[in-house]
């Protein structure tokens, strides 16, 4: 009798893996810092490109690490959200300390020394931020691997899921930076994250939904950038030109991604595919970002 063997899914060749990794490395800081259009260097393409030398390691490295951890452990969107929240607490609570500094000014060069030269959080604040980050990261790894089949249940159409995400992301950006506004902001983000986790566990969730929700967040940022006053002296002509270029870039990227989805067959969530391969004891496929 022939012995049973576990079939491992072969890793994609390097030329196919390096593109998504580099894209995530560079697009993360662009989406986090440039897309909303508040920087005083918005009218200077050279400064924007130079800023990526610092922002890409800050944002991109964390995004790639989260991607690889989720990919290697076969976990799902809840773990992604928890690890992302842990990174946010580390950055805002420990790196630039904007979480505690009432006079914090956003800037393109996010360097610890620059942001702590005139302000330093107390040991209690730093300790609390570190504890929260550790708790969030630990919770991400305590989430069970997604081995169970998808449950039945209603899932909104991709356009509706994207519309909900865009509405909540718009509220997130427009809430005032006050204590009540911060509480409402947190509830808004938790609501959006909860909906994504809930819907993604149902059989009707697909890669089109992932694209719609992620794309909605990008479009919301890019659209609101036209209303944002940049820091410092910036020509409005240069500012709106940069905003328009970024908006067109977002739309082109989303159209390309949608075309790729239509060419790759049935719309299955990449995280669900990885859960299937984890059951077979093999590594998962890349995250469908």
Cα 106 → chain centroid: 19
Mean pLDDT of the region 175-204: 90
Within-domain flag for 104: no
Query: pLDDT category, 102, cuts 50, 70, 90?
Result: low
Structural domain boundaries enclosing 249: 16-76+143-279
Helix (H) or strand (E) holding 166: helix 158-174
Q: Are the C-beta atoms of 242 and 235 separated by less than 8 Å? A: no
Count the domains in the chain. 1
Within-domain flag for 128: no
What does pTM read for this prediction? 0.70
Within-domain flag for 96: no
Within-domain flag for 10: no
Instruction: Tell me the two tokens of residue 153.
Output: 């249940």
Q: Are the C-beta atoms of 253 and 201 separated by less than 8 Å? A: no
Smallest CA-to-CA distance from 48 within 37, 57, 60 is with 37
**Residues paired with residue 151 on neighbouring β-strands, in sequence order:** 202
pLDDT at 217 over 60: yes
Phi, psi for residue 97 in degrees, rounded to 5: 60, 25
**C-alpha to C-alpha distance for 165 and 212, rounded to whole angstroms:** 8
- Write the burial class of residue 275 (CB in 10 Å: 0-12 exposed, 13-18 middle, 19+ buried): buried
Within-domain flag for 125: no
Within-domain flag for 88: no
Q: Is the dihedral of CA 213, 217, 222, 225 positive or negative?
A: positive
**C-alpha to C-alpha distance for 179 and 156, rounded to whole angstroms:** 33
Within-domain flag for 215: yes
Most confident of 90-94, 124-128, 140-144, 253-257: 253-257
Within-domain flag for 7: no
Count other Cβ atoms within 10 Å, centred on residue 151.
9
The HSE-up count of residue 29 (CA atoms within 13 Å, CB side) is 23
Instruction: Tell me the two tokens of residue 221.
Output: 């940022």
Low-confidence winner among 100-114, 119-133, 180-194 (lowest mean pLDDT): 100-114
Straight-line distance from the first to the last Cα atom of the chain, in angstroms, rounded to the nearest whole number: 43
């Amino acid at each position: 009798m022939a012995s049973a063997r576990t079939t491992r899914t072969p890793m994609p060749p390097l030329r196919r893996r390096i593109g998504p990794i580099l894209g995530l490395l560079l697009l993360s800081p662009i989406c986090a810092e440039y897309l909303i259009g508040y920087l005083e260097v918005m009218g200077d393409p050279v400064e924007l490109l130079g800023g990526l030398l610092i922002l890409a390691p800050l944002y991109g490295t964390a995004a790639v690490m989260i991607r690889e951890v989720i990919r290697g452990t076969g976990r799902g969107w809840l773990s992604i959200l928890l690890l992302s929240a842990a990174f946010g607490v580390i950055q805002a609570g420990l790196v630039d300390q904007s979480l505690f500094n009432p006079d914090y000014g956003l800037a393109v060069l996010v360097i610890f020394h620059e942001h702590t030269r005139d302000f330093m959080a107390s040991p209690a604040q730093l300790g609390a931020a570190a504890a929260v980050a550790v708790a969030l990261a630990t919770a991400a790894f305590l989430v069970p691997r997604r081995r169970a089949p998808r449950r039945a249940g209603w899932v909104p159409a991709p356009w509706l899921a994207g519309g909900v995400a865009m509405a909540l992301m718009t509220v997130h950006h427009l809430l005032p930076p006050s204590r009540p506004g911060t509480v409402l902001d947190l509830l808004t983000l938790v609501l959006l994250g909860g909906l994504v986790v809930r819907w993604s566990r149902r059989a009707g969730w697909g890669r089109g939904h992932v694209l719609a929700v992620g794309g909605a967040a990008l479009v919301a940022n890019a659209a609101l950038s036209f209303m944002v006053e940049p820091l410092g002296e910036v020509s409005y002509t240069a500012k709106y030109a940069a905003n328009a270029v970024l908006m067109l870039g977002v739309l082109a990227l989303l159209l390309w991604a949608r075309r790729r989805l239509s060419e790759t067959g049935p719309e299955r969530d990449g995280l669900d595919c990885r859960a299937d391969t984890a059951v077979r004891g093999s590594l998962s496929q890349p995250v469908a970002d």
